[in-house]
Structure 1
């Protein structure tokens, strides 16, 4: 299968399309045939390795995983041992590993919902930024309806969603 990979941190010129083995889901994993994948600021951080503190989790000198991509929309193509609630052919979206490829792997908890077939396919690339904004407002800041929030830096993916979610929830 083809995938966008990078073997060193750096600019976009480090990215190449490579032929790699198709990932097979292991225990507790779901295999996804990717239709759409999202690009956001997080991918730039993964590509460049900046801020450098993130390299503690992604590889100090070079990426420990050459694959890029988090968001996806696609069909379940295989389920690993112990996975329930998903079956081959289901249209799903969520977060996975190496989604800038023809096939990727996700865990059931990363597949937020079965994708409604009536929605535009381009919406399948939204989970990382939207979920991050929701978790920041609801889970971390514990903002309640009627409270006021200041969202600094609302020009990126997370900030844009945070403004919309705050307004929707009466914050």
Structure 2
């Protein structure tokens, strides 16, 4: 069971990474952000994302504390990162709106969390992955979490040229003063 869940999580991350790399290499035929936001492409991206996060959770249960880390570290640091990451990720999703979070064109947001990072939701999701790895102390979780973090690090490279084309000088000013991640 552990190997199957691990394979599913890694396959979903690989599919998203392929989609992003294609979009970076071939912007006129990009897959992300999609040329046209449809229910099918929104479902596809969300389904792959959910598989990565869900497999992380299932692996955490199946391989719980395989590394034998102390509970205080796991729950203190790992639990905090998971809770804080979720609060920030969902706050960003609500602020941006689910359509724009799913790849539809939206307005340029530069205030709130977006004053400090052009991608606060991705940073928060990375925190969730790091927290899950620490909390579970699982090498299997580490593998899927690392793949998920890699996807989150590459995603802005596919999105930002699209944002620059959509928002012009406003994007240029924003990107000059605000860091991509932290």
Normalised by the length of structure 2, the TM-score is 0.25
Which structure has more relative contact order (CA 8 Å, sep 6+)? It is 2
